[in-house]
Amino acid sequence: MKKKIIVQLPLTAKEAPGWDEKSTDLPTGDFALIQERYRLELDALKSVNAEILEIPPDNVENLIEAARDADAILVSWGVYLDEAIITQLDKCVILAVGSVGTDMVDVEAATRAGIVVTNTPDVFIEETADHTLMLLLAAGRRLREIDEIVRKGQWAKGRPILAKLPRLWGQTLGIIGFGNIGTAVARRAKAFGFHIIAHDPYVSELKITGEGVEPVSFAEVLERSDYLTLHTPLSTETTKLIGSLELDVMKKTAILVNCSRGGVVDEPALIDALENGTIAGAGLDVLEKEPPHPNNPLLSLSNVVLTPHAASATTRMRPAGRERAAREVALALQGKWPMSAVNPSVLPRTPLVRWQPIPMMRGPNR
C-alpha cells in the first residue's frame, strides 16, 4: 500500500518546486507533472512506496480533509499547523520542515499527539554564517549611510564618519546560541581578529572552548560585546530574549545582528534603542512582522541594515532543504528514527526504532 505524503504549497508560488513567479498557486493532480516537480523528494523517498499530493496554501479545510489519512506532511508556510489541525491527523507519523526554524508548526501539540517534527539544521549553516558576517560588517562600517553619501555626491563626508570607528581587530564579538551556525560564525570571525565570547546554556564549555571561544554568562555577553549576534531558535524561552533591559546593558557603541528569528528581539524596544543611541546600530535579516509595515521605523533608520529573511538563500537552498526533509520522511516511514527530531521526547512513544549508533564521547542518552 502506498504511503500518502502531503506537500503543503507555500504562499509564494515562486518558492514551490518547478514553478516560476507567474504561476498560480493551484495544486496539480497531473501524475507526470508531480513526478517532475518533486523529483528530488521522490528520489529521497525511493525506499518508500510513496505518492505525493499537493495542497493549496492558506486553506485549512482542504488541508485537514486531504491530510487526515496522510502518513507524512512536508511542511511549508501555506498553513500554520496548530493543535486544531494536528489532532485531526489520524495516521501522520512525521511533520518534516525544510528549514532550520519550525515556527510554522505547534511542536508541543505535535508532541502530545505522538507525531515527530523534524527540521534541517545541517543544511543552511555556511550560507547563514556568511550572511551574518555580511550584516555585521555592513552595520559596523555604516554601509547604508556611507553608500547614500556617495550617491548624493557628498564624497568627502564619508571618511570623517568612518574615521571615528574603531578597527575590527581586537573588538569583542558576542554570540548567543552556539549551535551549528553560531560555531560557523565564530570560525569566520577569527579571521577578522575578533575576541569571541559566547553564551549557550545548552552547549558544554568543552565545545565552546574547543573552538577557541570564551564561554560567558548571559549578562556578560550583553555587557562585553562590541558586536552581538543571535543564533537561537524561537521558543517560549527565547521570545523577546533581547528587550529594553538587555539593550540598556549593552555598550552604546554596540552593533546587534539577528539572523535567527524576529521574535527573539523586542522590536519596539530595539527601535527605541536605535533612535536614542542606546546602541549604535543593527543588521537584521528577520523582523517580528514579515514583510514589515511600510511605516516601520526600521525602514528609515540610517544605522540599520536590513535584508528580507534571506540569510540562507543561494542556488542550493531550495533543493537541499527539499531533499533533506524528504529523507527524514523516508526514515520515519521505514520505521526508523529521523536524523533531526526537534521534539526527541516523542520518539520513545512511537513505534519508530533507533538505528543510529550511540556516540561514545558523551554520557548515557537519557
Helix (H, G, I), strand (E, B), or coil: what is residue 303? coil
Q: Is 309 a catalytic residue?
A: yes
Distance (Å, whole) CA 42 – CA 362: 36
Helix (H, G, I), strand (E, B), or coil: what is residue 99? coil
Cβ atoms of 45 and 5 closer than 8 Å = yes
Helix (H, G, I), strand (E, B), or coil: what is residue 357? coil
3-state secondary structure 109-176: HHHHCCCEEECCCCCCHHHHHHHHHHHHHHHHCCHHHHHHHHHCCCHHHHHHHHCCCCCCCCCEEEEE
Preceding peptide of 291 cis, ω within 30°: yes
Q: Which of 271, 273, 321, 275 is nearest to 292 (CA)?
A: 271
Catalytic residue among 187, 188, 309, 318: 309
Cβ atoms of 138 and 305 closer than 8 Å = yes
Catalytic residue among 261, 322, 324, 327: 261
Cβ atoms of 117 and 110 closer than 8 Å = yes
Q: Is 214 a catalytic residue?
A: no
Cβ atoms of 282 and 274 closer than 8 Å = yes
Residue 97 phi/psi, 5-degree rounding, is -100, 130
Q: Name the DSSP letter for residue 253.
A: T
Q: Is 290 a catalytic residue?
A: yes
Beta bridge partners of 257: 229, 283
Residue 3 phi/psi, 5-degree rounding, is -85, 135
User: CA 172 from chain center: how many Å?
Assistant: 24
Q: Which of 116, 181, 128 is nearest to 328 (CA)?
A: 116
Q: Name the DSSP letter for residue 8.
A: E
Catalytic residue among 51, 148, 205, 290: 290
Cβ atoms of 199 and 215 closer than 8 Å = yes
* Burial class (CB within 10 angstroms; exposed 0-12, middle 13-18, buried 19+) of 226: buried
Residues that are catalytic: 261, 290, 309
